[in-house]
Structure 1
Amino acid sequence: MSARSAPKRQSAKTPALSLESKFLRLGLMSAEDFVLHLPLRYEDETQIMPIASARPGLMSQIEGEVVRSEIVLKPRRQLTAVLRDESGEIHLRWLTFYPSQQAQMTPGKRWRVRGEVRGVRHGFEMVHPKVSVAGAPLSMALTPVYPTTDGLSQASLRKAIGSALTTVDLCDTLSHTIRSRLGLMELREALQTIHSPPADLDPTSLLEHTHPAWTRIKFDELLAQQLSLAAARDQRQVRRARPLGPVVSGKQDASLTERLLASLPFALTAAQARVLQEIESDLGRSFPMYRLLQGDVGSGKTIVAALAALRAISHNAQVALMAPTELLAEQHFNKMHSWFEPLGVKVCWLAGSMPVKAKRESLEAIRSGEAKLVVGTQALIQEGVEFCALGLVIVDEQHRFGVSQRLSLSRKGEDAVRGSVAGTTLDLIPHQLTMSATPIPRTLAMTFYADLEVSSIDELPPGRTPVVTKLFASDRRMDIIAHVAQACAEGQQTYWVCPLIEESEALDLQNAVDTYAELVQALSPRRVGLVHGRLTPAEKALVMNSFRNAELDVLVATTVIEVGVDVPNASLMIIEHAERFGLAQLHQLRGRVGRGAKRSVCVLMYQTPLSMLARQRLRAMYETQDGFEIAQRDLDLRGPGELLGSRQSGLTLLKFADLAQDGGLVVVAREQAIVLRETDPQTVRKHLDRWMRGKEDYLRT
């Protein structure tokens, strides 16, 4: 058998999927699944347009007679035809075609064609138009186009959905009183309008989801999510955790917190003290804490996490702190070690790059309980990591981790506590504190984090100087290099951030390797370093330590320095091709400077021409340093994906609502969810059954 023929034989053995199997791929099983499978867009097949009225870029439906057709061989084999009506002619073209299509285009035959009109040198054309019989009755409504899968035609979907609409029992989960008060359409009417809109309905309102029918669908979806998140919160409060309340005064461990606070060269801000009190109050309860600690770059989240860890350690419980990168995790380890070692608290390090012997020693210290605080990367959730009594899990930059990763760390604690608490059948699970330097806008917090308690550090520690942000076009590059040279002469250190490591043919971006070589030459004898993601952890650590110790004047870097890097003497940040970075990422990078007493500057160097989105991002960076304001603008510009990160792990929990547009609906849905949970649990169950099948358990992670 030849290599060429093998795939054909294999493919012949693969049975074709049944229609039911194709529906299952889309999650369509029950009649309700089909009626809630809503159109992506619509085609207007309600009228025939004269060819002379066609306009480039618009979908048009035309009827006419084939006047000529031929197969053209250059520049590639393709089928072409010309269709004529009373007003003019239009060219048709197929880049791939079957003999049956060639036969269709025999001169003298009449057809109805539909497609996007394109302007070409010889007039108008359609490429791969939809062809149907001329003279057939016109549709009386806009034709929906649905999300589909390989081998499943729109005709099959429309037929199945139409059948479901006539048979399904669409009892409305919202009473007439609620609908009237909120100004909502009846559900069946809304779905009928979306699936089969009348010809006189403006398709724009349907496509942009502003029609009252879409308002009803979006409200139901948001209400279901609010109900489910509230149920998730209730369920968590039924579960059990070890209470970590105030330690009895007079014991040695009771003074851990006081001793650490006394050793610090600073006092907690009012905001830090407030959120610490919120966290400690949660830790003292018998059900697990699920709290998100958010604060702007440099607001002091780490010391709050350290103090929370000491509360757990005072109860002889272990604490695990997981960070997304080895660079950030190592910085946490160094800081925690410097704080905790004088207190007699053993801090253990665990990362994938550790030598075998060192890793074995760490694993044994974790297993025995000797290690009270364990700091590391995803290595913490690997097989073979066994905790003795894990009482608190801290996850930094939580949006960088998937749901399954965060759950894996929590489950390490469930297994450990279950085995260590004798005489009880309860499954005790650890408290959880997640941290984020990307503040969550209020609408997003209400929608996706309503099941979590949220603490916000909304003030910066004293001594943090505002960072001056400046915008420069890339043609001012030599001026910027001269400014860096002057800063070096004054004893300042500089970050120079590039979006790529090496040259790319696809993107004309200044890269880190070339920039490093350029700056070494231009700034000689100043010391320039280079750090990026392809270096080994040891190589990264060596360069970063040199920069921290002021052995380097300039650090050329990719975005590996985005989070956690703390060098107070660095007061100048150059971000090259700033137009290529996301708004949240720009804000994180800018937060690497302004950590000392010196006036700090962030230069956003951009290449023209700028897109509208890039202009809005750079304007936001120039106008504000408030992380909460920047997060809201990021949500408005790009939607929730960037801020949510991998929390949803690829599953779209909101298919229809748009948080950038539907913030008002979120508030109303939240209020209605509270009322229904208090007064009508039966309706709550029906509504969740309709909208959250397959998603409730996921939300509760």
Structure 2
Amino acid sequence: MACAPHPIERDMTPAIRKALDKLGLLRDIDLVLHLPLRYEDETRITPIASCREGQMVQIEAAVLNSEVQLQPRRQLVVTVQDASGECQLRFLHFYPSQQKAMAPGKRLRIHGEVRGGFWGRQMLHPQIRKAEGPLPAALTPIYPISKGLPQAYLRRMIAVALQRIQIEETLPGTVLALAGPPPIAAGHGAAAGSAWWPLHQALQFLHNPAPDVALQTLEDHSHPAWQRLKAEELLAQQLSQFKVRQTRAGLGAPALSPPADISSALPLHEQLLARLPFELTAAQRRVCAEIAADIAQPRPMHRLLQGDVGSGKTVVAAMAACLCIDAGWQCALMAPTEILAEQHFRKLTEWLSPLLAEREQSVAWLAGAQKKKERAAMLEAVAAGSAMLVVGTHAVIQDSVEFARLGLVLIDEQHRFGVEQRLSLRKRQSTAPEDARAHDKGMEPHMLMMTATPIPRTLAMTYYADLSVSTIDELPPGRTPIVTRLIAESRRDELIERLATQVAQGRQAYWVCPLIEESEALDLSNATATFEDLQQAMPGARIGLLHSRMPAADKQAVMAGFSAGEIGVLVATTVIEVGVDVPNASVMVIEHAERFGLSQLHQLRGRVGRGSKESACILLYATGDNGQLGDTAKERLRAMAQTNDGFEIARRDLEIRGPGEFMGARQSGAALLRFADLDTDQALLEWARQLAPQMLRQQPRLAELHMQRWLGGKWDYLKA
């Protein structure tokens, strides 16, 4: 659908244009799909005497008195009266123009919530307008807005867009001829077998609902008009995912299977297995087989490897890298932080360097803080193709990095990368000159993304429908259970005493803080202050400090000291959230645990329990001014205390935060669901999953139009 200019452009200020752009209201269809948060009933007048406390009502009354009172604080108090009684209006914030509009004798229509009080009925900051003209025929919509965009102006824009837009039905006629979507037939707000509402009718209704509609069906989105919108949205989302998978199936990728004339007596992955001091679990072997089958195909693998903290994803990645290298192609592994990338580099170097050295090949390291000479040598090895495995941070995707023959990309903690960074790695192709490898050009590398935050089934069915998913659903033997305790901030000194005793007995601990330095905005303990406190409270122990602003060399020195057992307590920010593996560390203290997300708490807890000693995670929480924790914080901490299962943690995290936050919407760039709810709209989701591939095959024009209507220009984001 073509992008039409904004309606009412002649009086559009820069502030309004900025607000519209921020809300993504660029086309008529965007305005029409910008649906109300709630509604106010201004279609009727309620006599003051009939108003009940807590009611949202509209009254029509004359101003008896208007004055500014200074006690107990400055406020405008207006008394109004109709034929049935009086009501007092209070404004704690007001302008002279408002005072003038509410001068004695003025007749007003007033909309607000009725409160009881010593002085009778009151309204606080009600909406005021002149008592003139007919009453509205529909409920008044209240839209999501941004600074600089008045509700009244947005209402006018949407009304104009509704008048001038022509909405083509994109659901196939065979679907529209059937009864409505599954939840309607199941009795969610409409009679069984209700017909589909036409899309244009549904939109007109939701922007201007009749006053006799049951408000509950609008608020809980169970009305047939809402069901049509949710069905449309879920179908667009599923179409986009199936389309991406369909497009990817048509692309070329190297078939990563070892050549028949391989010189080594054993394939590289078998040599690695022989060197490892442990055996793979059944789940790891199953996942390795799934990946091997995928990358042996001449089309790009796009697979998500999920497994709980400590389930052994790194060794699976190493096995995939071995298959890639044996096939004569390079592999790149990118991690979000230098600490995590370095952990991977050390482990992979330990496992693979001796094997690669026999082939005159190597593992390369690329990070932002590298010395110029070292970086130049690494870049040369990567470009020449002698560095067969390249490990690093986002430095791996900088323009200066030229791969000779990139066949496989591994991305750890993929949700922590921006979508542009993931796309950049996907688009890396062979940069070799036109020689025997010229046929490599235009091929996409295979991609394996790893996450320690398991994806609940409902999210896998929606946002990850275009991915193959492999799951490591068992932990290696020898992992000790982690005991989780909730301790109030008031017992902090007692905790430090007990920790000092543990450290004196040779145990090591992490102490995680949410900030690095003092912040006036947040009253939280910070890492540097806690580091100094613990040094004073535990004079016999060596305390280390680690945070993201430290020079790379200092970070490495601290981590080396902690890994070697020289540092008893490591005070850190969330820089140690992933990748840090110190088996002797058996205590994790998380300060201000109520401020952390559930998946983040689980990741931090996973840093302990990696050795033979019993491990503990202490969630140190602070209560608010009222001595209570907020409901959301309480739910998070309770979940942490009740289970160590990462899949259950992920399910509860999704319940608490919703899909947008869970996925890190700001990083993903993906179009998240605005109207549908993954908990209550399972039947609609299943309906959309079944219809999407059928539409792409049989009605490709309608499918394309449907996606353009709902997704606009967000295609690139969906490909990442």
Instruction: Give the TM-score, by structure 1 length.
Output: 0.90
Give the structure 1 partner of residue 8 of structure 2.
Answer: none
The question of 1:334 aligning with 2:340 is answered no
Deviations 1:426-455, CA, capped at 9 Å, x for gaps: 611111111101111111111111111111
Give the structure 2 partner of residue 382 of structure 1.
Answer: 398
Shift of 1:74: 9.3
Deviations 1:188-223, CA, capped at 9 Å, x for gaps: 443233122121222233123232321221121111
Residues 387, 613 of structure 1: alpha-carbon distance in 2 compared, 3 angstrom cutoff: same
Mapped contact 1:571–1:593 kept (Cα < 8 A)? yes
What is the CA–CA distance in structure 1 between the aligned matches of 2:161 and 2:179, rounded to whole Å?
24
Query: After the TM superposition, which of the residue ranges 242-251 and 112-121 deviates more from structure 2?
Result: 112-121
Mapped contact 2:543–2:569 kept (Cα < 8 A)? yes
SS at match of 1:258: helix
Deviations 1:445-481, CA, capped at 9 Å, x for gaps: 1111111111111111111122122222233333322
Query: After the TM superposition, which of the residue ranges 355-364 and 293-302 deviates more from structure 2?
Result: 355-364
What is the CA–CA distance in structure 1 between the aligned matches of 2:529 and 2:259, rounded to whole Å?
57
Give the structure 1 partner of residue 142 of structure 2.
Answer: 145
The question of 1:617 aligning with 2:629 is answered no
The question of 1:627 aligning with 2:621 is answered no
The question of 1:526 aligning with 2:541 is answered yes
Query: After the TM superposition, which of the residue ranges 251-260 and 280-289 deviates more from structure 2?
Result: 251-260
Shift of 1:510: 3.0
Deviations 1:280-319, CA, capped at 9 Å, x for gaps: 1111111111111110000000011011111111122211
Give the structure 1 partner of residue 706 of structure 2.
Answer: 687
What is the CA–CA distance in structure 1 between the aligned matches of 2:64 and 2:252, rounded to whole Å?
79
What is the CA–CA distance in structure 1 between the aligned matches of 2:312 and 2:17, rounded to whole Å?
55
Give the structure 1 partner of residue 283 of structure 2.
Answer: 271
Select the residue among 290, 293, 317 that pairs with 1:281: 293
SS at match of 1:385: coil
The question of 1:259 aligning with 2:275 is answered no
Residues 387, 453 of structure 1: alpha-carbon distance in 2 compared, 3 angstrom cutoff: same
The question of 1:581 aligning with 2:596 is answered yes
The question of 1:358 aligning with 2:374 is answered yes
Alignment of 1:469-548 (within 5 A): 469-548=484-563
Give the structure 2 partner of residue 237 of structure 1.
Answer: 249
Give the structure 2 partner of residue 11 of structure 1.
Answer: none
- The residue type equivalent to 1:185 in the other structure is W
- The residue type equivalent to 2:422 in the other structure is R
Aligned length: 686
Select the residue among 163, 182, 185 that pairs with 2:196: 185
Residues 355, 76 of structure 1: alpha-carbon distance in 2 compared, 3 angstrom cutoff: farther
Residues 651, 293 of structure 1: alpha-carbon distance in 2 compared, 3 angstrom cutoff: closer
Give the structure 2 partner of residue 216 of structure 1.
Answer: 228
Shift of 1:20: 9.3
SS at match of 1:347: strand
Residues 518, 142 of structure 1: alpha-carbon distance in 2 compared, 3 angstrom cutoff: same
Deviations 1:228-259, CA, capped at 9 Å, x for gaps: 11111010111111111134265228531111
Q: Percent identity?
A: 53
Shift of 1:518: 2.5
Give the structure 2 partner of residue 668 of structure 1.
Answer: 687
Mapped contact 1:275–1:456 kept (Cα < 8 A)? yes
Residues 529, 443 of structure 1: alpha-carbon distance in 2 compared, 3 angstrom cutoff: same
Shift of 1:68: 2.6
Give the structure 2 partner of residue 68 of structure 1.
Answer: 65
Give the structure 1 partner of residue 3 of structure 2.
Answer: none
Deviations 1:617-637, CA, capped at 9 Å, x for gaps: 112111111111110110011
- The residue type equivalent to 1:629 in the other structure is E
Select the residue among 569, 575, 582 that pairs with 1:554: 569
The question of 1:656 aligning with 2:656 is answered no
Query: After the TM superposition, which of the residue ranges 46-55 and 552-561 deviates more from structure 2?
Result: 46-55
Give the structure 2 partner of residue 302 of structure 1.
Answer: 314
Give the structure 2 partner of residue 88 of structure 1.
Answer: 86
Give the structure 2 partner of residue 406 of structure 1.
Answer: 422
Residues 159, 607 of structure 1: alpha-carbon distance in 2 compared, 3 angstrom cutoff: closer
Mapped contact 2:62–2:106 kept (Cα < 8 A)? yes
Gaps of 5+ in 1: 1-13
What is the CA–CA distance in structure 1 between the aligned matches of 2:441 and 2:63, rounded to whole Å?
78
Mapped contact 1:401–1:646 kept (Cα < 8 A)? no
Select the residue among 437, 453, 457 that pairs with 1:442: 457
- The residue type equivalent to 2:646 in the other structure is G
Shift of 1:691: 2.7
Give the structure 1 partner of residue 206 of structure 2.
Answer: 194
Residues 562, 118 of structure 1: alpha-carbon distance in 2 compared, 3 angstrom cutoff: farther
Shift of 1:347: 1.0
Select the residue among 642, 651, 656 that pairs with 2:661: 642
Mapped contact 1:400–1:646 kept (Cα < 8 A)? no
Alignment of 1:120-139 (within 5 A): 126=123, 129-134=126-131, 136-139=133-136
Residues 421, 236 of structure 1: alpha-carbon distance in 2 compared, 3 angstrom cutoff: farther
Mapped contact 1:141–1:197 kept (Cα < 8 A)? yes
Shift of 1:115: 3.8
SS at match of 1:132: strand
Give the structure 2 partner of residue 47 of structure 1.
Answer: 44
- The residue type equivalent to 2:686 in the other structure is V
What is the CA–CA distance in structure 1 between the aligned matches of 2:42 and 2:314, rounded to whole Å?
61
Give the structure 2 partner of residue 206 of structure 1.
Answer: 218
Shift of 1:276: 0.8
What is the CA–CA distance in structure 2 between the aligned matches of 1:574 and 1:26, rounded to whole Å?
40
Residues 539, 60 of structure 1: alpha-carbon distance in 2 compared, 3 angstrom cutoff: farther
Mapped contact 2:89–2:125 kept (Cα < 8 A)? no
Mapped contact 2:181–2:231 kept (Cα < 8 A)? no
What is the CA–CA distance in structure 1 between the aligned matches of 2:206 and 2:434, rounded to whole Å?
55
Query: After the TM superposition, which of the residue ranges 134-143 and 275-284 deviates more from structure 2?
Result: 134-143
Mapped contact 1:403–1:649 kept (Cα < 8 A)? yes
Gaps of 5+ in 2: 1-10, 186-194
Residues 66, 400 of structure 1: alpha-carbon distance in 2 compared, 3 angstrom cutoff: same
What is the CA–CA distance in structure 2 between the aligned matches of 1:511 and 1:21, rounded to whole Å?
37
What is the CA–CA distance in structure 1 between the aligned matches of 2:274 and 2:446, rounded to whole Å?
26
Give the structure 2 partner of residue 367 of structure 1.
Answer: 383
Give the structure 2 partner of residue 3 of structure 1.
Answer: none
Residues 328, 262 of structure 1: alpha-carbon distance in 2 compared, 3 angstrom cutoff: same
Shift of 1:329: 0.7
What is the CA–CA distance in structure 2 between the aligned matches of 1:646 and 1:417, rounded to whole Å?
36
Residues 84, 536 of structure 1: alpha-carbon distance in 2 compared, 3 angstrom cutoff: farther
Give the structure 1 partner of residue 4 of structure 2.
Answer: none
Residues 151, 612 of structure 1: alpha-carbon distance in 2 compared, 3 angstrom cutoff: closer
Give the structure 1 partner of residue 176 of structure 2.
Answer: 176
Shift of 1:698: 3.1
The question of 1:569 aligning with 2:567 is answered no
- The residue type equivalent to 2:713 in the other structure is G
Shift of 1:104: 2.5
Residues 426, 415 of structure 1: alpha-carbon distance in 2 compared, 3 angstrom cutoff: closer
Give the structure 1 partner of residue 104 of structure 2.
Answer: 107
What is the CA–CA distance in structure 2 between the aligned matches of 1:55 and 1:473, rounded to whole Å?
43
Give the structure 2 partner of residue 5 of structure 1.
Answer: none
Shift of 1:94: 7.1
What is the CA–CA distance in structure 2 between the aligned matches of 1:423 and 1:516, rounded to whole Å?
56
Shift of 1:152: 5.2
